[in-house]
Amino acid sequence: MRDYFKELIEDLKSLEEVELIMLGGSKALNKEDALSDYDVYVYYSNYIEVEARREILKKYFKYVEVSNKFFEEEDDGILINGKEVELIYRDLNFLEDNFINTFEKFKSSFGYSTCMVHNILTSKVLYDKNNIIKDYREKYNFYPKELKESIVLNNIKLLDNQMPSLSYQIIKAIKRGDIISINHRITEYLAIYFDILFSLNEEFHPGEKRLLPWIEKFKIKPENSKELITKLLNAQNLSKEEAIKTVKDLSNGMNDLVKSIYKDFEKSNYSKEKSE
């Protein structure tokens, strides 16, 4: 049977601009299911013009959307054999920028702080013209303690410790009975909660999919965290009192855990006022 995906990759490799091609997502980690698509990252030294890409894609796709720019620049389509493919194009400088920001500048974000580094470190190499990814992986094979502290102490503030904190936003939404706001805030809250968890366990964040099973693997975690998260996700089916208690229990558990590791961490005065 003709392997359209393999032929596509061979054609992309022939482009002079292409330096590195990697397969990411569940297929790279051997965790794919029937719904998994191909996430392909194409790194270039010089921008690959849309028409040059289109000439290649038309040979292998029965449907394709060229140069989608909702997130990164992508060509997204369905191969002739029915398999879905996302081709994500990145300047080669993307690699160095992410490694420096993570391993040397220790930059954190509010949720998903190390997702890009996880993507780069775990994607399967399909083509590497100058062995660049091998060199990066050998150099950056550790989890900096400064990065860990930055992620944990920055994210815990927005989780539960200052006036804009998401725990308070969820509680307000519960009191109002605003279902859309409840779900929106819970999503943001859990993004931050898991960012802290992955960092405490010195694991690079794999993204938003299949997160609950990770809790079983973590050695460092608040007590009953999985049960409380599951309960929080069903907050709209709880009484207001029980839903609010769940938010507080989940937040207090993380606060206590962070305090046990970082002795100088203190809840803000606002947090103390809200608890009284």
Under 8 Å between Cβ of 132 and 19:
yes
Compute the distance between CA of residue 216 and CA of residue 254 in angstroms, rounded to an integer: 16
60 and 12 in one domain? yes
At 252, phi and psi to the nearest 5? Answer: -65, -35
227: helix, strand or coil: helix
- The answer to whether the Cα torsion of 104, 115, 226, 245 is positive or negative is positive
Instruction: Report d(CA 82, CA 63) in Å as an integer.
Output: 9
274 pLDDT tier (thresholds 50, 70, 90): low
**Structural contact between residues 27 and 109, judged by C-beta atoms closer than 8 angstroms:** no
Q: Tokens 């996700």 map to which residue?
A: 233
| 49-80 residue pLDDT tens | 999 999 999 999 999 999 999 999 999 999 99
Same domain, 111 and 11: yes
139, 173, 198 — which closes off a domain? Answer: 139
Is residue 110 pLDDT above 60, yes or no?
A: yes
How many structural domains is the chain composed of?
Answer: 2
- Is pLDDT at 162 greater than 80 in this prediction? yes
Residues 171 and 267 in one domain: yes
**Are 10 and 133 members of one domain?**
yes
Is pTM beyond 0.85 here? yes
Q: Check whether residue 264 and residue 149 sit in a common domain.
A: yes
Residues 85 and 167 in one domain: no
Q: Are 150 and 108 in contact (CB under 8 A)?
A: yes
Report the CATH number that the domain containing residue 27 is assigned in CATH.
3.30.460.10
Q: Same domain for 123 and 158?
A: no
Cα atoms in the 13 Å half-sphere on the side-chain side of 163? 0
Residues 153 and 244 in one domain: yes
Distance between CA 47 and CA 58 in Å, rounded?
19
Helix (DSSP H) and strand (DSSP E) numbers for the chain: 13, 6
Domain with 10, as residue range(s), is 4-139
Q: CA–CA separation, 181 vs 184, rounded Å? A: 5
Can you tell me the mean pLDDT for 126-150? 94
What are the residues whose beta carbons fall under 8 Å from the beta carbon of 70, sequence distance 6 or more? Answer: none
**Backbone φ and ψ of 201, nearest 5°:** -95, 5
